[in-house]
Structure 1
Amino acid sequence: MAHNLITRLGVAAGIVAAAIAFAFLSIISQARMLDEDGRTGEVAGRIQTFGIVGLIGASVALLLLAAYLARYIVIPMRDVTSAAEELAGGDLTVRVREQGDAEPVALAHAFNELASNLQTEQQQTEVALTALAAEKRRIETFHRAGERLAAARDLTELATIALAELMIAAGADSGGLWAVEPDDQRELVLEAAMGVDPAMLPRFLRPDDSPAGRAITTREAVAVDRGKRSELHLPLVVGSRAIGVMSLYRDGTPAFPPSDRDTLLRLAEQVSVGLSNAVSYRSALRAARVNRAVLDATPDPVGLLGSDGELVAHNAAMAEIWRQYPGVDVGGGGGEERDVLELGPRAYSRYAGPVRDDTGERMGRLVVLRDITAERESERLKDEFFALVSHELRTPLTSIIGYLELVCDNDEELSADTNRFLEVVDRNAKRLLRLVGDMLFVAQVEAGRLSLERVALDLGQVLADSVEAARPTAERAGVRIRLETTEVGHIDGDRDRVGQLVDNLVSNALKFTAEGGEVVVAMRAEGGDRVLVAVGDDGMGIPAAEQQHLFERFFRSSTARSRAVPGVGLGLTIVKTIVEAHDGEISLESKEGVGTIVRVLLPLRVEAAA
């Protein structure tokens, strides 16, 4: 542009100079022509002189114009052009002297303003790029740390990765990381150490007055400058719970600046989440190992079945069952079940029931098996033994009682002492015979051979007979016995078994009632189609914790044992068996020191109910 302007100015000056020179040359030429014609020579000389002087003056003026243009226009423009080329080359520090005429000065000033603005923008851009690069490095650090932390599951491994990442980010020389112990949330355990011997760091940390302890307590970073060593303690917090602390150390370098602390705190937040997951994962693994150890130590097969019937979780005993009998249905139906499962030569008591989580959603089906093969065999042998012994005892006992009756029939020939002794023998022989009968009855029930001879039975008469038969015993014990009945019709029952049922209840009531007490036998209709028989006493009562066992074979309450009440614990077992064989129900209500009531509900005959 400057060269074009100079060229144009030169051409313009040349044209002006040529025009002036042409004018003065024309004047000189005219003067010579006049002189040649001899006309007014003096005038011609003057004209010629004027032309020469004018030509010289025009040349000088032209030179002055050229000098002026060069100094105030051309040179400033050339400087601006040169500076613009340098600016275009990237030198933003170039400036132009503001000299020359008004327009060149204005142009130079504008150029300098432009260069200054460009330089300022470049500096701001460099600052922004520097900040952007730093942010990029932070993001890359966060990303790399996040990827490494996400890949770690073990708590110690994650702690080592986290400590390494923050040491790199902080430019630390050494550090340590403490995390909560899953079994004891009150203290922190050293999980990782780098750049320092772990033995030089405390094994356990608790909230205290130490820098790391203050970081745990305040949930804020604690910086310590020890002159030759700087420390930064970062709390690892999830929600409001401190789950760890990280300590970073620098040797011989300046303290950690606040800008670094902000970055490190952000990284610490990321570490806290991963550390919390790792602590939970370790706790879950430990709980799983404990559960597995407990399950495998359990001799009974235990398993959890999924919706497809396959084992989801199991112990070693269940795995062995599954191996021996692949595909066997150990889960049973859909509800809760308690039954016996036969697998080959062995028998298992089975409990199966649905398992639900805390929201009520079904997780599967729990199955617990218990090998009862040996118990079954033992029960079988015991029942056979009872049956055999009872049978072998019953025959001689019957003979003894028969001969006693013959002897007692001739009591005139016997002394009083002999009669008394024989009565004791007869009473105990009959008691032993009843015991043998009870044992035979239980053996028949266990063997499934209990048979009933059902007839239309007047239950009121059975109760009356039983009360009358027990009255002598009650009088000897000083116990009142009372019968309260209403007309209810007949039941469909076995007379001997129903009589045995009532005799056992009355006998028990008398045994547990002290002298001066009372036993009440009552009967009334219940609901129109059933009859209620209740036998109550005001005796010693039975402890609440023992009442659920009263109908088990050979069970005797602590009160019976402590007061030497006679019996072997079969009476209520026989009563319950007879009641259930007659499609009835039995219940018991007792309170220590107050007494006991046993209630039996039996169905009436259909004709009577109609």
Structure 2
Amino acid sequence: MIDKMNEFSTTTKVDKNFLPHNGIKELYFLHENFKNMTGIVSDTIKKERKLNKQLQDMDKRKVEFMSMVSHELKTPIMPILGYVQLLKKEELLGKLNTQQLDAVNEIDLSVTRLQKLVQDVLTAQKIDLEKLTVTNSSINSEEIVNTVYNAFLPVCNIKGIKLEKNIKKSQQITSDPDRINQIFSNLISNAMEFVPNNDACIKIGTYDENDQIIFFVKDNGSGISKDEQKNIFKKFYQIDTISKRKKEGSGLGLAICEGIIKKLGGKISVKSDIGRGTMFYFTLSKEQISLQNF
């Protein structure tokens, strides 16, 4: 008996013809069941890994396909925009009548919207593929806000939206000014869709908090519910505001903002209550961050 138990403890082998003791018999069958379970679990893990790899490959091909399609859509846009601008030049092609000018303006507006959509898709694909490039240069927080303010002031005046800026303190930071401008552009364009028809107001600005620089865009629009705030940074998500907003956007703007901010080493957040407006704000470190392009 002792010899058989010693053999099992060192080799895990048992003579099936020698199982007179219930303890050894139970131990033997437990060992056999454990081996079978281990094999099943191992096979399941291998199958799961294989399926995950297939899903990742499919997702990557989908992203690459969307990127290719977006590039193909982008190619004819520039010539169309070029000819639209030519049509508007009286000294080149003559003066258009009112009906013709309205038609050309509508083409211009539609193509510009398509250009923005294609650019958003391309940027989103770069973020997904981890191919978004950023630069690293010394910039001034006040200059960033002033640049954005001057760029959007004319269109806000046309739309009857009051644009205000609030710069509490100018700070020097190391980041990508073009990407920060892109974030501001998306946030302000988004805010313009939510502000009321009367007494519309958008505030932009910057301030510092400990070792962080905070940029913000605040509006006096309809606000965002707590439930929807959980989803607004997801791709293609659009807030259901019924008649409060024209749903002309792609639903990519906020997802792009979050992707860029993460690439810059920062974070974007939102504060909002229904009927009390919305504030999007993003933080960047005052310290130099080493940016690595994929």
- Which of the five TM-score ranges fits, normalised by the shorter chain? 0.7 to 0.9
Paired residue for 1:384, among 33, 58, 64? 64
Q: Are 1:470 and 1:507, in contact at CA under 8 Å, matched by a contact in 2?
A: no
* Matched letter for residue 233 of structure 2: F
Q: Are 2:193 and 2:246, in contact at CA under 8 Å, matched by a contact in 1?
A: no
Q: Distance in 1 between matches of 2:235 and 2:95?
A: 45
5 Å-filtered alignment, 1:190-589, equals 322-324=41-43, 344-347=49-52, 373-374=54-55, 376-410=56-90, 413-515=95-197, 516-527=199-210, 529-559=211-241, 563-589=245-271
Q: Distance in 2 between matches of 1:482 and 1:470?
A: 11
1:398-444 deviations in Å (ceiling 9; x for gaps): 11112222332336522233233222222221221111011001111
Structure number with bigger Rg: 1
Q: Distance in 1 between matches of 2:105 and 2:129?
A: 36
1:353-378 deviations in Å (ceiling 9; x for gaps): xxxxxxxxxxxxxxxxxxx843x344
Q: Distance in 1 between matches of 2:85 and 2:286?
A: 39
How many positions carry a matched residue from both structures? 250
Q: Distance in 2 between matches of 1:436 and 1:537?
A: 27
Q: SS in structure 2 opposite 1:464?
A: helix
Q: Are 1:479 and 1:514, in contact at CA under 8 Å, matched by a contact in 2?
A: no
* Matched letter for residue 407 of structure 1: L
Q: Distance in 2 between matches of 1:410 and 1:501?
A: 37
Q: Are 2:191 and 2:219, in contact at CA under 8 Å, matched by a contact in 1?
A: yes
Q: SS in structure 2 opposite 1:586?
A: strand
Q: Are 1:493 and 1:582, in contact at CA under 8 Å, matched by a contact in 2?
A: yes
Q: Are 2:214 and 2:281, in contact at CA under 8 Å, matched by a contact in 1?
A: yes
Q: Are 2:70 and 2:121, in contact at CA under 8 Å, matched by a contact in 1?
A: yes
1:40-85 deviations in Å (ceiling 9; x for gaps): xxxxxxxxxxxxxxxxxxxxxxxxxxxxxxxxxxxxxxxxxxxxxx
Instruction: Point out where structure 2 has 5 or more consecutive residues left out of the alignment.
Output: 1-36, 290-294
Q: Distance in 2 between matches of 1:440 and 1:396?
A: 15
1:316-360 deviations in Å (ceiling 9; x for gaps): xx988614168x8xxxxxxxxxxxxx954232xxxxxxxxxxxxx
5 Å-filtered alignment, 1:1-40, equals none
Q: Are 2:193 and 2:245, in contact at CA under 8 Å, matched by a contact in 1?
A: no
* Matched letter for residue 397 of structure 1: I
* Matched letter for residue 206 of structure 2: M
Q: SS in structure 2 opposite 1:558?
A: coil
Q: Distance in 1 between matches of 2:242 and 2:152?
A: 20
Q: SS in structure 2 opposite 1:413?
A: coil
Q: Are 1:490 and 1:605, in contact at CA under 8 Å, matched by a contact in 2?
A: no
- The 3 A distance-change label for structure 1 pair 462 and 399 is farther
1:196-220 deviations in Å (ceiling 9; x for gaps): xxxxxxxxxxxxxxxxxxxxxxxxx
CA deviation after TM superposition for structure 1 residue 591, in Å: 0.9
Q: Distance in 1 between matches of 2:239 and 2:265?
A: 27
Please report the TM-score for the alignment, with normalisation by the length of structure 1. Answer: 0.38
Q: Are 1:501 and 1:575, in contact at CA under 8 Å, matched by a contact in 2?
A: yes
Say which structure, 1 or 2, has more relative contact order (CA 8 Å, 6+ apart).
Answer: 2
Q: Are 2:215 and 2:282, in contact at CA under 8 Å, matched by a contact in 1?
A: yes
Q: Are 1:484 and 1:523, in contact at CA under 8 Å, matched by a contact in 2?
A: yes
1:569-604 deviations in Å (ceiling 9; x for gaps): 101001111111111111111111111111111112
Match in the other structure for 1:291: none
* Matched letter for residue 346 of structure 1: L
* Matched letter for residue 459 of structure 1: S
- The 3 A distance-change label for structure 1 pair 555 and 410 is same
Instruction: Point out where structure 1 has 5 or more consecutive residues left out of the alignment.
Output: 1-317, 329-341, 348-371
1:89-112 deviations in Å (ceiling 9; x for gaps): xxxxxxxxxxxxxxxxxxxxxxxx
* Matched letter for residue 404 of structure 1: V
5 Å-filtered alignment, 1:581-600, equals 581-600=263-282
Please report the TM-score for the alignment, with normalisation by the length of structure 2. Answer: 0.76
Q: Are 1:467 and 1:506, in contact at CA under 8 Å, matched by a contact in 2?
A: no
CA deviation after TM superposition for structure 1 residue 482, in Å: 0.6
- The 3 A distance-change label for structure 1 pair 569 and 320 is farther
CA deviation after TM superposition for structure 1 residue 451, in Å: 1.2
Larger displacement relative to structure 2 (476-485 or 588-597):
476-485
Q: SS in structure 2 opposite 1:597?
A: strand
- The 3 A distance-change label for structure 1 pair 513 and 417 is same
Q: Distance in 1 between matches of 2:39 and 2:81?
A: 58
Indicate the percent of aligned positions where both proteins have the same amino acid: 27
CA deviation after TM superposition for structure 1 residue 385, in Å: 2.6
* Matched letter for residue 552 of structure 1: K
Q: SS in structure 1 opposite 2:230?
A: helix
Q: Distance in 2 between matches of 1:574 and 1:548?
A: 16
Match in the other structure for 2:20: none
Q: Are 1:555 and 1:569, in contact at CA under 8 Å, matched by a contact in 2?
A: yes
Q: Distance in 1 between matches of 2:185 and 2:39?
A: 51
Match in the other structure for 1:275: none
- The 3 A distance-change label for structure 1 pair 586 and 398 is same
Q: Distance in 2 between matches of 1:561 and 1:567?
A: 15
Between Structure 1 and Structure 2, the one with more strand by share is 1
RMSD between aligned alpha carbons?
2.6
CA deviation after TM superposition for structure 1 residue 502, in Å: 0.6
- The 3 A distance-change label for structure 1 pair 427 and 459 is farther
Q: Are 1:488 and 1:531, in contact at CA under 8 Å, matched by a contact in 2?
A: no
Match in the other structure for 1:242: none
CA deviation after TM superposition for structure 1 residue 538, in Å: 1.0
Q: Are 2:222 and 2:244, in contact at CA under 8 Å, matched by a contact in 1?
A: no
Q: Distance in 2 between matches of 1:590 and 1:597?
A: 6
Q: Distance in 2 between matches of 1:561 and 1:447?
A: 36
* Matched letter for residue 345 of structure 1: K
